[in-house]
Amino acid sequence: MASTGLAVRRIGVLTSGGDAPGMNAAIRAAVRTAQCIGIECIGIRHGYAGLIRGDFVPLSEKDVKGLTKMGGTMLYSARSQEFMTDEGRQRATDTCKYMGIDGLITIGGDGTFKGALGLADRGIKVIGIPCTIDNDIGCSSYTIGFDTACNTAIEAVDRLSDTMQSHERCSVVEVMGHRTGYLALNVGIATGATIVLIPEIKYDFERDVVSRIRTARLAGRTHFMVIVAEGMDPVHVVAENIQNATGVDTRVTALGHVQRGGPPLMRDRVTATSMGYTAVMLLARGQGGRIVAMDGDKVIDIDIHEALAMTKDFDHELYKMFTTLTFLDSKEADIGEPE
Ligand code: F6P
């Protein structure tokens, strides 16, 4: 297709913040879409830090071959202190202008979008793509990487469960989530965990941990799984308290960055591809200052100011379902009301 009629001629793409499975698939989709419709695509390495210092690499269809199935990000990712400042943002804007980059796709989470807003307010056409294993972006019902990360954690918890069963132990597993419990709750549901501790739900150690384990034990359970979202009480403390209060031999595992790696699963490959494609199409039409998002299974785009003001409601029904299913004695269930 000839480039005539396109609102942009050269665009940049960068990944920023914590990486997530599917980032590469989004880059690939953006590069291929751009090339197909006659837009030049520049890869910006090391996130906003690379944008400031001009760490650029031209990208064509050949450079992104086979990228759909690759974890990580071929463009590297970073959190730039300099870009947090007005001077840093101005320098990044100047670099865009100097390099003739008239559209920018930024792939990442909340921090990435705040940075994108700084550029949008300086006149750069920016499109954000939500990509974080935390699934904590207010404007999007789903973020790229969440499904793969959940499945990685699920596999690990299933393995731990086998050995906990053999030794009649309790396992306390810390999962990521960055101040939210979406990952922890979904992993807890999928693995049939005994207890999930998440920031959205206040808990009482005696009532919500000790007595649940005791109840489960009385009902015949011999091993226990406690999933803890990062940022809650330190897992080794939770484990020690469980062991002291119940006498159950307890072990700790922090899954950590293993949750961020590995080949993306279908949902993340397809979502990333759809979002990468949509982002380029928006720029081609001259639109900027927007975030591509999921509304259920539909890809939409939202004004960046509005998008950043949106918050995600915690799914209390999902938590209620978890507690209903895990309480062996439903009479003891105190599932509480939404906070
Ligand atoms: O936002 C993704 C995430 O993995 C969070 O779950 C976690 O809190 C954070 O990033 C860890 O960041 P870092 O890569 O700096 O250790």
Encoded tokens for 72: 């990580």
For ligand 1, atom 4, the nearest C-alpha belongs to 18
**pTM, 2 dp:** 0.95
Nearest to 317 by CA among 212, 226, 189, 228: 189
Residues 6 or more apart from 56 whose CB is under 8 A from it?
12, 42, 43, 44, 45, 50, 99
Work out the pLDDT band at 338, boundaries 50, 70, 90: very low
Nearest to 35 by CA among 74, 56, 64: 64
Q: Are 191 and 225 in contact (CB under 8 A)?
A: yes
- Note the pLDDT of residue 316: 95
For ligand 1, atom 2, the nearest C-alpha belongs to 18
Taking only the tens place, the pLDDT of each residue in 177-187 is 999 999 999 99
**Ligand 1 atom nearest to 257, measured from its CA:** 4
* Cα 261 to ligand 1 centre (Å): 12
Question: Alpha-carbon distance 144 to 133, whole Å?
Answer: 7
* Cα 76 to ligand 1 centre (Å): 15
For ligand 1, atom 15, the nearest C-alpha belongs to 18
Q: Phi-psi region for residue 328, left (φ > 0), alpha (ψ -120 to 50) or beta?
A: alpha
pLDDT exceeds 90 at position 336: no
**Ligand 1 atom nearest to 231, measured from its CA:** 8
Question: Alpha-carbon distance 149 to 286, whole Å?
Answer: 34
* Cα 20 to ligand 1 centre (Å): 10
Q: Which residues line ligand 1 (CB under 6 A)?
A: 18, 109, 132-134, 176-178, 230, 260
Candidate of 76, 131, 132, 176 to mutate for ligand 1, largest count of ligand atoms within 8 Å of Cβ: 176
pLDDT exceeds 70 at position 337: no
Q: Phi-psi region for residue 259, left (φ > 0), alpha (ψ -120 to 50) or beta?
A: alpha
Q: Give percent of the chain with pLDDT exceeding 70.
A: 95
- Note the pLDDT of residue 326: 85
Instruction: Give all strands of the β-sheet with 298-303 in edge-to-edge order.
Output: 56-59, 40-44, 10-15, 103-108, 126-130, 290-295, 298-303
Q: What is the three-class DSSP state of 169?
A: coil
Strand partners, 197: 228
Q: Are 285 and 42 in contact (CB under 8 A)?
A: no
For ligand 1, atom 3, the nearest C-alpha belongs to 18
Taking only the tens place, the pLDDT of each residue in 28-62 is 999 999 999 999 999 999 999 999 999 999 999 99
For ligand 1, atom 11, the nearest C-alpha belongs to 18
**Ligand 1 atom nearest to 17, measured from its CA:** 1
Taking only the tens place, the pLDDT of each residue in 71-106 is 999 999 999 999 999 999 999 999 999 999 999 999
**Ligand 1 atom nearest to 183, measured from its CA:** 6
- Note the pLDDT of residue 332: 46
Taking only the tens place, the pLDDT of each residue in 226-244 is 999 999 999 999 999 999 9
Tell me the catalytic residues. 134
